[in-house]
Amino acid sequence: DSVFSHVVRAPEDPILGVTVAYNKDPSPVKLNLGVGAYRTEEGKPLVLNVVRKAEQMLLNDKSRVKEYLPIVGIAEFNKLSAKLIFGADSPAIRENRVTTVQCLSGTGSLRVGAEFLARHYHQKTIYIPQPTWGNHPKVFTLAGLSVQTYRYYDPTTRGMNFQGLLEDLGSAPSGSIVLLHACAHNPTGVDPTLQQWEQIRQLMRSKALLPFFDSAYQGFASGNLDVDAQSIRMFVADGGECFVAQSYAKNMGLYGERVGALSVVCRAADVASKVESQLKLVIRPMFSNPPIHGASIVATILKDSNMFNEWTIELKAMADRIISMRKQLFDALRARGAPGDWSHIIKQIGMFTFTGLNSKQVEFMTREYHIYMTSDGRISMAGLSSKTVPHLADAIHAAVT
């Protein structure tokens, strides 16, 4: 008899579980719209050409060794990552008020930031949007923070509940941490306008709420790296403090390389350097130091202006394909006369569309049409192609009529 026989089976991860079910389905028309990873028009995973090129250069460089990195990772990668998100001319960088540490993609960066806050920040409550990426509550709770939600999405308009957001942040205790999706909110695809960001900023600064940005889609939302960083740059421009978790999973297609960074913008250089010293104490017993390969690829691309340009072109092509899928799905639903207003499909931004389909309709589409997605009606636009749009439109039409 095992000493572990009392262990109860855990449920499948709700997002990864979609793929498990999809893999079991023998139907030739099956479609997986659950995955949060880019697919080509042919439905294949994509490795960017510029990434292949960088890997080749790294491979050819015989001076490279496999020694441990420092606890904070590759210094050059950290510098370039800060520059990418805050802008080349950022005063915060120039004044050495930013500390950046290499972490394990977006998730690891969120976790390291949260662990630091749980140890060193006077407020232990973090407000996350309702809804949000399913991993957020778990990451922050396990790091020792207490999680509250703020209203974000309005199902009746399939848009922003801005009034609700202002009310909830307005009544949050002073000093609370607030998790903000920098762009391409997951799962809703609904982002504040620049004017709304400015209102959020004023409210948060007036109440000393601490912004923690999750930037998992820079460049992937609009196709432009600077446009997708505007929300963060507004908060940095006012001289105040904030946390930023960056991921290169989507925008460089480096999902499995686990490459990301945590930046903490402080009011003064000496504070930033003390914060960094404590971040090392968080990282050391967690994973000791980060892996070399992914961050070397990113640094190789970011530091070379030609490769950087190549990257922006490939990034824009991914974003444009997703935007074109939105248009095609919207047109196909209109052509079928599907009842209701589907304009949210073209208004929403980023990898996902929050269709507004309920769990019963999702179940129907899986059963009758072999289309797989999360039960909240979120579909990955990146998993669609011109060839599969008609099948999805047929399924949605049948589900709503």
Catalytic residues: 133, 214, 250
The distance of closest approach from Cβ of residue 222 to ligand PLP in the complex, given in angstroms and rounded to an integer, is 16
Give whichever of 181 and 326 is closer to ligand PLP, judged by the CB atom: 181
Whether residue 353 contacts residue 344, with contact meaning beta carbons closer than 8 Å, is answered with yes
d(CA 64, CA 261): 22
Phi, psi of 265 (to 5 degrees): -90, 125
- Per the CB < 8 A criterion, the answer to whether 302 and 219 are in contact is no
Between 352 and 369, whose beta carbon lies closer to ligand PLP?
Answer: 352
CB of 107 to ligand PLP, least distance (A): 3
Backbone angles phi, psi at 164, to 5 degrees: -60, -40
Q: Which is nearer to ligand PLP, 87 or 294 (CB)?
A: 294
**Token digits for 153?**
């999405």
Evaluate whether 199 touches 166 at the Cβ level (below 8 Å).
Answer: yes
Which CB atom, from 107 or from 300, has the smaller least distance to ligand PLP? 107
SS3 state at 313:
helix
Q: How far is the CB of 86 from ligand PLP (least distance, A)?
A: 19
Question: Is 315 or 389 the residue whose CB approaches ligand PLP more closely?
Answer: 315
What does each C-alpha distance from 357 to 161, 318, 362, 377 come to in angstroms? Answer: 19, 26, 7, 5
Between CA 382 and CA 184 the distance in angstroms is: 13
Q: Are 337 and 287 in contact (CB under 8 A)?
A: no
C-beta of 192 vs 260, nearer to ligand PLP: 260
CA atoms within 13 A on the CB side of 253: 22
Cβ 136 to ligand PLP shortest distance, Å = 7
Supply the DSSP string of 313-368, one letter for each residue: HHHHHHHHHHHHHHHHHHHHHHHTT-SS--THHHHS-SSEEE----HHHHHHHHHH
244 bridge partner residues: 213, 263
Contact residues for ligand PLP, defined by CB under 6 A: 36, 105-107, 133, 181, 186, 214, 216, 247, 249, 255, 260
Nearest to 139 by CA among 173, 174, 103, 167: 103
Q: State how far the alpha carbon of 286 is from the alpha carbons of 42, 71, 115, 150, 372, in Å.
A: 39, 10, 10, 30, 35
Smallest gap from residue 249 Cβ to ligand PLP (A)? 4
Among residues 249 and 379, whose Cβ is nearest to ligand PLP?
A: 249
Rounded Cα distance between 58 and 53, Å, is: 9
Per DSSP, the residues of 372-383 read E--TT-EEEGGG
State the nearest-atom distance from the C-beta of 318 to ligand PLP, in Å.
15
Facing residues of 150 across strands?
A: 129
Q: How far is the CB of 358 from ligand PLP (least distance, A)?
A: 22
